[in-house]
Amino acid sequence: MNFDALSLHPQLLQATALCGYTQMTQVQQQVIPKALQGQDLLVCAQTGTGKTAAFSLPFLHRLLKHQAQQEPLPRPLSVLVLTPTRELAIQVGESIKNYSQMTQLRSVAVYGGANINPQRKALVRGVDILVATPGRLFDLIGQHELDLSSVEQLIIDEADRMLDMGFVKDIERVKSLVAPRHSTQMFSATFSEQIKALASKMLDTPQWINIEPELSGSKIVQQVYPVDKRRKAELLAELIGKHNWQQVLVFVSSKESAEALHKELKLDGVNNAVFHGDKTQGARNRALEQFKSGELRVLVATDVAARGIDIAGLPLVVNVELPLEAEDYVHRIGRTGRAGLDGHAISFVALSDEKMLQEIEKLIGQTLPRHQVPGYELGAPLPERYRQLDLTRQENAEGAHSRHARGAKAKSGRHGHKRGGSNSGAKSSYASRRANQSRRV
């Protein structure tokens, strides 16, 4: 179905055409008509399915429809979109600006890790739509008296991630601060029992919409590469060079792993940067822009990048380490194969990763094909450099043990000498006191 089949405001249809949108995705076809009616919705859809347009176009249409009756700026805030992460807030904010580029509607994204003053001043000038992370939202409410009482449309994006990050109380508080009569749409990657329980508290007789994961991820070719845990960085560097990969988003499970892999790739001459929670927002933005522009071949990231990052035409995602939660695998590979394009996702799997791989395959309902890279077979003898490294580590460990033993022996000797000296001193002191006593007597 085409977008022009909907009775959307002409300015929105112009904007979607400029964005290159023609055919609606599954989630857009099912969400937009119901959202235009103002119904509460609980939507299950994976990343990369077009859900931002699905929830944005209906509220933009309603705002434009009533724009003539609205007060001059500063107008009261009408729409609030809650997101769990800064990256997602930025992405959603940019998308809403693109969809509303032919209109006079104003929107702003607020999030932590950035100066609060420009965000506050933008709100003072007046906005129709606010995209916010919970922490920064409550900073603005508590410190700068942001008023949500005029909000008639609440969108909760990545609700499952909100639960994981402990934002349930924040969502409940937001619900109590918006207008008594409002509609709520909740988007989640899964229909877990926790999401259903949250929806029963937050939504008023909601419509449930479920976009099957296989429909959204069908254009992503997924493969598993068995490899020894110690050789994952080596394999990645070899594949990048062998296949001349120019844009690879690499996921690891921790900040420490990200930094270690960054150094390994740098030694191999692969231009790369890291993207994780310990980096400032400015550093993360710079790394992402350099990666998008092609200045970097590899972006090494933790799961902070698994949601909320939209890289147009990203050809490849590599999981050097599998995620700690199976659901995050779906979000990771959702960075590729977006907007109907083909994508490729590769996971490096060691013997210790098999249990998590089984959980992932159970979640996605398929067994992922294995591809064995010659020379990297599991159980094959390690290259000489690894054996030499192990030998060096063993020698260092033995040397450290020997030094510790010698130190302990010397310490014991010193303690024994002190004990002897101390006893001798005590005896000498006792004899001296006895002599003094004798002299005094």
Q: Which residue has the higher pLDDT, 282 or 103?
A: 103
Per-residue pLDDT tens digits for 111-159? 998 899 999 999 999 999 999 999 999 999 999 889 999 999 999 999 9
Is residue 420 over pLDDT 60? no
HSE-CB for 266 with a 13 A CA cutoff: 11
Rounded CA gap, 342 and 179, in Å? 43
What is the band of 164 on the pLDDT scale with cuts at 50, 70, 90?
A: confident
Rounded CA gap, 69 and 63, in Å? 10
What average pLDDT score do residues 17-42 get? Answer: 90
Contacts 24+ apart (CB under 8 A), 408-413: none
What is the band of 165 on the pLDDT scale with cuts at 50, 70, 90?
A: confident
Q: Which residue has the higher pLDDT, 350 or 379?
A: 350
- Asked if residue 79 lies in contact with residue 59, where contact means CB atoms within 8 angstroms, the answer is yes
Q: What percent of the chain has pLDDT over 90?
A: 54
HSE-CB for 399 with a 13 A CA cutoff: 6
Residue-wise burial string across 113-135, b where 16 or more C-beta atoms lie within 10 A, e elsewhere? ebeeeebbebbeeebbbbbbbbe
Per-residue pLDDT tens digits for 177-227? 999 999 999 998 878 888 888 898 899 999 999 887 543 445 789 999 999
Rounded CA gap, 401 and 405, in Å? 6
Is residue 440 over pLDDT 60? no
What average pLDDT score do residues 252-269 get? Answer: 94
What average pLDDT score do residues 243-257 get? Answer: 95
Rounded CA gap, 128 and 337, in Å? 32
Residue 317: predicted pLDDT = 96
- Asked if residue 410 lies in contact with residue 263, where contact means CB atoms within 8 angstroms, the answer is no
- Asked if residue 182 lies in contact with residue 152, where contact means CB atoms within 8 angstroms, the answer is yes
Of 130-139, 167-176, 237-246, 414-423, the poorest mean pLDDT is in 414-423
Residue 231: predicted pLDDT = 93
| Sheet with strand 207-210: strands edge to edge | 107-110, 129-132, 79-82, 153-156, 183-188, 41-44, 207-210
What average pLDDT score do residues 253-269 get? Answer: 93
Phi, psi dihedrals of residue 350, rounded to the nearest 5°: -95, 175
* 308 Cβ contact list (under 8 Å, min separation 6): 83, 85, 86, 87, 88, 89, 90, 91, 92, 158
Residue 419: predicted pLDDT = 43
Q: Which residue has the higher pLDDT, 46 or 209?
A: 209
SS3 of 152, please?
coil
- The dihedral over CA atoms of 121, 122, 123, 124, expressed in degrees to the nearest 10, equals 50
Sorted by where each starts, the structural domains of the chain and their CATH numbers stand as 3-212 (3.40.50.300), 217-380 (3.40.50.300)
The distance in angstroms from the start CA to the end CA of the chain is 118
Rounded CA gap, 279 and 287, in Å? 10
Per-residue pLDDT tens digits for 294-337? 999 999 999 887 776 778 789 999 999 999 988 889 889 988 88
What is the band of 102 on the pLDDT scale with cuts at 50, 70, 90?
A: very high
- Asked if residue 279 lies in contact with residue 251, where contact means CB atoms within 8 angstroms, the answer is no
Mean pLDDT of the chain, nearest integer: 84
Q: What is the DSSP letter of 28?
A: H
Q: What percent of the chain has pLDDT over 70?
A: 83
- Provide the token pair at 156: 């909760």
Residue 347: predicted pLDDT = 97
What is the band of 406 on the pLDDT scale with cuts at 50, 70, 90?
A: low
Q: Ranked by mean pLDDT, which of 58-72, 224-238, 325-339, 414-428 comes out on top?
A: 224-238
Per-residue pLDDT tens digits for 364-397? 889 999 999 999 988 877 777 666 655 665 666 6
No. of H helices and E strands in the chain?
A: 16, 13
Residue 437: predicted pLDDT = 36
Phi, psi dihedrals of residue 48, rounded to the nearest 5°: 85, 10
